[in-house]
Structure 1
Amino acid sequence: MTRDHAAEARDLRALLTAVLDAITLPRADPDYEQRLVDRADLAAVTGGAALDGALADIGWHADYLAGRLDAENARRTRIRAAAAAERGEGQ
């Protein structure tokens, strides 16, 4: 089987981007420290699994981590919107 070095590089870049996204948060975030710990843990587990698995699976791990971060961001957006609505903001 021939290795596709371009695809491997693309998947590795995607994984590194997801890890960087996991550990990059605005310091003004009220839950900065807890979110950073939670996201760093997720990145460490996902990165460890990627290193332990087959090279061909790195793209899956990158997608998984990015998806989990997107879900967390969407959840926080919904929570902030609900809190703002409760306070009567945006009306």
Structure 2
Amino acid sequence: MKVAALAQSNDLDVAPHGAQEVHIHLVAAIPNGLILEYYRDSVNPMHGKVWEHELVIKDGYVYAPDLPGLGLKPKWDTLAPYRVG
């Protein structure tokens, strides 16, 4: 939020990259959020496999989840084979 405020004080927009499920909240919360980079399954092979609820895209807009916290609930069974340690 401090970086976004610093950018805004210099008339700059913020365009975070990657981790769209996390960055949707940042872009929605700041007045100078430019875009949300969004990866489909053609770019990200794990798309649609990690989270119980995917981001909703409608009419060119991405909607932030309204569940508690980040609104993300991992699919632990899908992630289990990738566990380290």
TM-score by length of 1: 0.27
Structure ranking higher on relative contact order (CA contacts 8 Å, 6+ apart): 1
Q: Decide which structure has greater strand share.
A: 2
* Bigger Rg, which one: 1
TM-score by length of 2: 0.28
